[in-house]
Protein backbone atom coordinates (compact mmCIF):
# COMPACT_ATOMS: atom_id res chain seq x y z
CA UNK A 1 0.00 0.00 0.00
CA UNK A 2 1.29 3.40 -0.96
CA UNK A 3 2.37 5.51 1.92
CA UNK A 4 1.02 9.04 2.22
CA UNK A 5 3.71 11.65 2.83
CA UNK A 6 2.40 14.44 4.97
CA UNK A 7 2.81 18.02 3.60
CA UNK A 8 4.84 19.06 6.64
CA UNK A 9 7.47 16.52 5.67
CA UNK A 10 7.78 17.95 2.12
CA UNK A 11 7.60 21.59 3.13
CA UNK A 12 11.31 21.98 3.98
CA UNK A 13 12.20 20.46 0.62
CA UNK A 14 9.73 22.48 -1.44
CA UNK A 15 10.42 25.89 0.09
CA UNK A 16 13.79 26.47 -1.63
CA UNK A 17 12.34 25.23 -4.92
CA UNK A 18 9.37 27.57 -4.61
CA UNK A 19 11.65 30.52 -3.87
CA UNK A 20 13.79 29.68 -6.89
CA UNK A 21 10.69 29.48 -9.06
CA UNK A 22 9.42 32.83 -7.88
CA UNK A 23 12.82 34.42 -8.45
CA UNK A 24 13.09 32.95 -11.91
CA UNK A 25 9.57 34.02 -12.82
CA UNK A 26 10.33 37.54 -11.69
CA UNK A 27 13.53 37.59 -13.73
CA UNK A 28 11.92 36.13 -16.83
CA UNK A 29 8.95 38.44 -16.51
CA UNK A 30 11.01 41.62 -16.60
CA UNK A 31 11.13 43.36 -20.00
CA UNK A 32 14.64 43.49 -21.42
CA UNK A 33 16.24 45.83 -23.94
CA UNK A 34 16.72 44.39 -27.43
CA UNK A 35 20.04 42.59 -27.55
CA UNK A 36 21.27 44.55 -30.58
CA UNK A 37 21.67 47.65 -28.43
CA UNK A 38 24.22 46.07 -26.10
CA UNK A 39 25.90 44.38 -29.06
CA UNK A 40 26.26 47.76 -30.79
CA UNK A 41 27.80 49.30 -27.67
CA UNK A 42 30.27 46.43 -27.23
CA UNK A 43 31.22 46.43 -30.92
CA UNK A 44 31.92 50.17 -30.79
CA UNK A 45 34.39 49.69 -27.94
CA UNK A 46 35.90 46.54 -29.48
CA UNK A 47 36.63 48.42 -32.72
CA UNK A 48 38.14 51.29 -30.70
CA UNK A 49 35.84 53.81 -32.30
CA UNK A 50 35.89 55.84 -29.09
CA UNK A 51 38.85 56.70 -26.87
CA UNK A 52 38.18 57.74 -23.29
CA UNK A 53 39.58 61.17 -22.42
CA UNK A 54 38.97 64.29 -20.36
CA UNK A 55 35.92 65.03 -22.52
CA UNK A 56 34.61 61.47 -23.02
CA UNK A 57 34.22 59.75 -19.66
CA UNK A 58 32.79 56.32 -18.83
CA UNK A 59 29.71 56.35 -16.61
CA UNK A 60 28.03 53.59 -14.56
CA UNK A 61 25.53 51.34 -16.30
CA UNK A 62 21.99 52.73 -16.52
CA UNK A 63 19.59 49.82 -16.01
CA UNK A 64 16.01 51.01 -15.91
CA UNK A 65 13.46 52.07 -15.05
CA UNK A 66 11.78 49.61 -17.38
CA UNK A 67 14.00 48.91 -20.38
CA UNK A 68 15.52 52.40 -20.43
CA UNK A 69 19.26 52.72 -20.17
CA UNK A 70 22.64 51.71 -21.56
CA UNK A 71 25.17 49.03 -20.69
CA UNK A 72 28.21 51.30 -21.11
CA UNK A 73 27.06 54.95 -21.13
CA UNK A 74 29.46 57.81 -21.78
CA UNK A 75 29.49 61.41 -20.58
CA UNK A 76 30.53 63.69 -23.44
CA UNK A 77 31.55 67.35 -23.13
CA UNK A 78 33.46 67.70 -26.43
CA UNK A 79 33.97 65.89 -29.73
CA UNK A 80 36.74 65.56 -32.31
CA UNK A 81 39.53 65.16 -29.73
CA UNK A 82 38.21 68.12 -27.77
CA UNK A 83 38.24 70.50 -30.76
CA UNK A 84 34.46 70.95 -30.86
CA UNK A 85 32.74 71.58 -27.55
CA UNK A 86 29.22 70.55 -26.59
CA UNK A 87 27.37 73.22 -24.62
CA UNK A 88 25.84 70.63 -22.26
CA UNK A 89 27.32 67.35 -21.07
CA UNK A 90 25.56 64.56 -22.95
CA UNK A 91 24.89 61.02 -21.76
CA UNK A 92 24.97 58.87 -24.89
CA UNK A 93 25.96 55.41 -26.05
CA UNK A 94 29.25 54.65 -27.77
CA UNK A 95 27.99 54.39 -31.40
CA UNK A 96 26.58 57.93 -31.34
CA UNK A 97 30.04 59.45 -30.85
CA UNK A 98 31.74 58.31 -34.10
CA UNK A 99 28.53 59.13 -36.00
CA UNK A 100 28.47 62.67 -34.59
CA UNK A 101 32.16 63.18 -35.29
CA UNK A 102 31.89 61.87 -38.85
CA UNK A 103 28.98 64.25 -39.49
CA UNK A 104 30.80 67.24 -37.99
CA UNK A 105 34.07 66.54 -39.83
CA UNK A 106 32.49 65.50 -43.11
CA UNK A 107 29.67 68.04 -43.44
CA UNK A 108 29.30 70.71 -40.76
CA UNK A 109 32.89 71.91 -40.26
CA UNK A 110 33.84 72.14 -43.96
CA UNK A 111 30.63 73.99 -44.81
CA UNK A 112 31.15 76.47 -41.96
CA UNK A 113 34.68 77.18 -43.21
CA UNK A 114 33.42 77.68 -46.77
CA UNK A 115 30.44 79.90 -45.94
CA UNK A 116 31.68 81.88 -42.94
CA UNK A 117 35.45 81.46 -42.89
CA UNK A 118 35.13 80.19 -39.31
CA UNK A 119 35.30 76.81 -37.67
CA UNK A 120 32.51 75.41 -35.50
CA UNK A 121 33.53 75.89 -31.88
CA UNK A 122 30.45 74.47 -30.12
CA UNK A 123 27.49 72.26 -30.91
CA UNK A 124 24.46 73.65 -29.09
CA UNK A 125 22.23 70.82 -27.91
CA UNK A 126 19.01 70.29 -25.98
CA UNK A 127 20.07 66.92 -24.59
CA UNK A 128 20.44 63.20 -25.18
CA UNK A 129 19.51 60.48 -22.66
CA UNK A 130 15.99 60.83 -21.28
CA UNK A 131 13.80 57.91 -20.19
CA UNK A 132 10.56 58.88 -21.87
CA UNK A 133 8.17 57.90 -24.66
CA UNK A 134 8.13 59.58 -28.06
CA UNK A 135 6.74 63.13 -27.82
CA UNK A 136 6.22 62.54 -24.08
CA UNK A 137 2.85 61.03 -25.06
CA UNK A 138 1.51 58.36 -22.70
CA UNK A 139 1.25 54.96 -24.37
CA UNK A 140 3.59 55.75 -27.24
CA UNK A 141 6.78 53.82 -28.02
CA UNK A 142 9.89 54.66 -26.10
CA UNK A 143 12.06 57.28 -27.75
CA UNK A 144 15.62 56.51 -28.84
CA UNK A 145 16.52 59.06 -26.17
CA UNK A 146 15.53 56.40 -23.62
CA UNK A 147 18.57 54.38 -24.74
CA UNK A 148 21.07 57.23 -25.12
CA UNK A 149 20.91 56.60 -28.86
CA UNK A 150 19.80 60.10 -29.88
CA UNK A 151 20.85 63.75 -29.65
CA UNK A 152 18.81 66.90 -30.27
CA UNK A 153 20.92 69.63 -31.92
CA UNK A 154 19.62 73.20 -31.59
CA UNK A 155 22.38 74.91 -33.57
CA UNK A 156 26.05 75.84 -33.66
CA UNK A 157 28.36 78.51 -32.29
CA UNK A 158 31.24 79.59 -34.54
CA UNK A 159 34.73 80.44 -33.33
CA UNK A 160 33.98 84.16 -33.62
CA UNK A 161 31.01 83.77 -31.25
CA UNK A 162 28.30 83.91 -33.91
CA UNK A 163 25.34 81.64 -33.20
CA UNK A 164 23.41 79.89 -35.96
CA UNK A 165 20.31 78.05 -34.76
CA UNK A 166 17.42 76.21 -36.31
CA UNK A 167 14.64 78.16 -34.64
CA UNK A 168 15.74 81.51 -36.09
CA UNK A 169 17.77 80.74 -39.21
CA UNK A 170 16.36 77.59 -40.85
CA UNK A 171 13.55 79.36 -42.71
CA UNK A 172 15.43 82.50 -43.75
CA UNK A 173 15.58 81.48 -47.40
CA UNK A 174 18.44 82.94 -49.39
CA UNK A 175 20.80 83.40 -46.43
CA UNK A 176 24.10 81.66 -45.80
CA UNK A 177 22.83 80.67 -42.36
CA UNK A 178 19.80 78.84 -43.77
CA UNK A 179 21.90 77.16 -46.47
CA UNK A 180 24.38 76.01 -43.82
CA UNK A 181 21.64 74.48 -41.66
CA UNK A 182 19.96 72.76 -44.61
CA UNK A 183 23.31 71.30 -45.63
CA UNK A 184 23.90 70.09 -42.06
CA UNK A 185 20.45 68.45 -42.00
CA UNK A 186 20.85 66.75 -45.39
CA UNK A 187 24.38 65.59 -44.55
CA UNK A 188 23.20 64.07 -41.29
CA UNK A 189 21.04 61.69 -43.31
CA UNK A 190 24.25 59.98 -44.49
CA UNK A 191 25.42 59.18 -40.97
CA UNK A 192 22.25 58.62 -38.89
CA UNK A 193 19.26 56.36 -39.46
CA UNK A 194 16.73 58.95 -38.22
CA UNK A 195 17.01 62.67 -38.93
CA UNK A 196 14.07 64.95 -38.17
CA UNK A 197 14.27 68.71 -38.62
CA UNK A 198 12.04 71.79 -38.91
CA UNK A 199 9.22 70.99 -41.29
CA UNK A 200 9.17 67.29 -40.41
CA UNK A 201 6.36 67.89 -37.90
CA UNK A 202 5.32 70.42 -35.27
CA UNK A 203 7.73 69.00 -32.69
CA UNK A 204 10.96 69.83 -34.51
CA UNK A 205 10.56 73.51 -35.28
CA UNK A 206 13.61 74.42 -33.17
CA UNK A 207 16.12 71.55 -33.58
CA UNK A 208 17.13 68.46 -35.50
CA UNK A 209 16.81 65.04 -33.93
CA UNK A 210 19.59 62.57 -34.76
CA UNK A 211 19.56 58.88 -33.82
CA UNK A 212 20.81 55.43 -34.82
CA UNK A 213 17.54 53.51 -34.47
CA UNK A 214 17.30 50.09 -36.11
CA UNK A 215 14.69 50.50 -38.85
CA UNK A 216 15.82 47.36 -40.65
CA UNK A 217 17.77 47.17 -43.91
CA UNK A 218 17.15 47.62 -47.60
CA UNK A 219 19.13 46.04 -50.42
CA UNK A 220 21.46 49.07 -50.37
CA UNK A 221 22.03 49.45 -46.63
CA UNK A 222 20.23 50.53 -43.44
CA UNK A 223 16.71 51.87 -43.83
CA UNK A 224 16.76 55.58 -43.02
CA UNK A 225 14.15 58.16 -42.07
CA UNK A 226 15.06 61.69 -43.22
CA UNK A 227 12.45 64.44 -42.81
CA UNK A 228 11.79 66.88 -44.33
CA UNK A 229 13.17 65.49 -47.58
CA UNK A 230 16.30 67.49 -48.46
CA UNK A 231 16.61 69.27 -51.80
CA UNK A 232 17.89 66.91 -54.52
CA UNK A 233 21.19 68.80 -54.85
CA UNK A 234 21.88 68.18 -51.15
CA UNK A 235 21.31 64.43 -51.21
CA UNK A 236 24.20 62.02 -51.85
CA UNK A 237 23.93 59.79 -54.94
CA UNK A 238 22.00 56.59 -54.22
CA UNK A 239 24.18 53.53 -53.49
CA UNK A 240 24.27 50.76 -56.04
CA UNK A 241 21.89 47.87 -55.44
CA UNK A 242 23.24 44.53 -54.32
CA UNK A 243 20.44 42.74 -56.14
CA UNK A 244 18.76 41.48 -53.00
CA UNK A 245 15.12 42.26 -52.17
CA UNK A 246 14.48 44.91 -49.52
CA UNK A 247 14.24 43.62 -45.98
CA UNK A 248 10.93 44.01 -44.11
CA UNK A 249 10.41 46.86 -41.69
CA UNK A 250 11.71 46.19 -38.20
CA UNK A 251 9.33 46.53 -35.26
CA UNK A 252 10.88 45.88 -31.89
CA UNK A 253 8.07 44.79 -29.58
CA UNK A 254 10.27 45.15 -26.50
CA UNK A 255 10.76 48.83 -27.27
CA UNK A 256 7.07 49.50 -26.67
CA UNK A 257 7.35 48.36 -23.05
CA UNK A 258 6.36 51.08 -20.60
CA UNK A 259 7.25 51.67 -17.02
CA UNK A 260 4.94 49.75 -14.74
CA UNK A 261 6.82 49.48 -11.46
CA UNK A 262 4.99 51.32 -8.66
CA UNK A 263 8.11 53.30 -7.75
CA UNK A 264 9.10 54.16 -11.31
CA UNK A 265 8.86 57.79 -12.45
CA UNK A 266 6.01 58.58 -14.82
CA UNK A 267 7.93 59.38 -17.97
CA UNK A 268 4.76 60.29 -19.80
CA UNK A 269 3.74 62.99 -17.33
CA UNK A 270 3.79 66.61 -18.54
CA UNK A 271 7.23 68.12 -18.31
CA UNK A 272 8.06 71.09 -16.12
CA UNK A 273 9.37 73.43 -18.78
CA UNK A 274 10.28 76.09 -16.24
CA UNK A 275 13.56 74.31 -15.58
CA UNK A 276 14.71 74.61 -19.17
CA UNK A 277 16.39 71.95 -21.31
CA UNK A 278 18.58 69.44 -19.54
CA UNK A 279 19.88 65.90 -19.60
CA UNK A 280 18.49 62.92 -17.69
CA UNK A 281 15.26 61.12 -16.89
CA UNK A 282 13.49 64.24 -15.61
CA UNK A 283 14.93 66.74 -18.09
CA UNK A 284 12.69 69.05 -20.07
CA UNK A 285 13.98 67.94 -23.45
CA UNK A 286 12.28 68.80 -26.72
CA UNK A 287 10.36 65.78 -27.98
CA UNK A 288 12.04 63.49 -30.47
CA UNK A 289 9.40 61.49 -32.37
CA UNK A 290 9.83 59.03 -35.21
CA UNK A 291 7.00 58.13 -37.52
CA UNK A 292 4.37 60.04 -35.57
CA UNK A 293 0.92 60.73 -36.98
CA UNK A 294 -1.50 63.52 -36.09
CA UNK A 295 0.93 65.08 -33.60
CA UNK A 296 -0.24 67.31 -30.79
CA UNK A 297 0.74 70.99 -30.67
CA UNK A 298 4.45 71.53 -30.05
CA UNK A 299 5.78 71.74 -26.52
CA UNK A 300 7.52 75.11 -26.39
CA UNK A 301 10.54 75.81 -24.18
CA UNK A 302 10.03 78.32 -21.38
CA UNK A 303 10.26 81.93 -22.53
CA UNK A 304 9.74 81.18 -26.22
CA UNK A 305 7.00 83.16 -27.94
CA UNK A 306 4.56 80.61 -29.47
CA UNK A 307 4.27 82.96 -32.44
CA UNK A 308 7.93 82.48 -33.35
CA UNK A 309 6.89 79.89 -35.93
CA UNK A 310 3.27 80.01 -37.02
CA UNK A 311 3.70 77.23 -39.59
CA UNK A 312 5.94 74.64 -37.89
CA UNK A 313 5.32 72.01 -40.56
CA UNK A 314 6.64 74.24 -43.30
CA UNK A 315 10.37 74.28 -44.00
CA UNK A 316 10.52 77.57 -45.94
CA UNK A 317 9.93 81.16 -44.90
CA UNK A 318 10.57 84.06 -47.23
CA UNK A 319 12.15 87.09 -45.65
Bridge partners, 185 (sequence order) = none
Q: Structure pTM?
A: 0.72
What DSSP assignment string belongs to 148-165? T-EEEEEEEEETTS-EEE
Domain residue extents for the chain: 49-295
**Phi-psi domain of 36 (left: phi exceeds 0; alpha: psi -120 through 50; beta: other):** alpha
Whole-number Å distance between alpha carbons of 94 and 74? 7
Each residue of 223-262: b (16+ CB within 10 Å) or e? bebbbbebeeebeeeeeeeeeeeeeeeeeeeebebbbeee
pLDDT at 248 (0 to 100): 56
18-40 mean pLDDT: 63
Higher confidence at residue 312 or residue 102?
102
Which one-letter DSSP state was computed for residue 212?
-
Query: Model confidence over 155-209: pLDDT tens digits?
Result: 999 999 999 999 999 999 899 999 999 999 999 999 999 999 999 888 889 999 9
Query: Model confidence over 58-116: pLDDT tens digits?
Result: 999 999 888 999 999 999 999 999 999 999 999 999 999 999 999 999 999 999 999 99
**Phi-psi domain of 50 (left: phi exceeds 0; alpha: psi -120 through 50; beta: other):** beta
SS3 108: helix
SS3 126: strand
Each residue of 201-211: b (16+ CB within 10 Å) or e? bbbbbbbbbbb
Amino acid sequence: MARCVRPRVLAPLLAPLAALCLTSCGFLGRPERPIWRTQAENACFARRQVTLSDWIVAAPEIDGPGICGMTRPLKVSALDNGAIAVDKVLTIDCPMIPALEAWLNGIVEPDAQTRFGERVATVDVFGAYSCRPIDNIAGDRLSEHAFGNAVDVAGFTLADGRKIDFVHDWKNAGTQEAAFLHEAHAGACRYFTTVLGPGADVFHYNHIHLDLANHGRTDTGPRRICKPTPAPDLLPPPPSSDGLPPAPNIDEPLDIAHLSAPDAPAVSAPLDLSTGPGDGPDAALPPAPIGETDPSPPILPAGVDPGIDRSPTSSIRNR
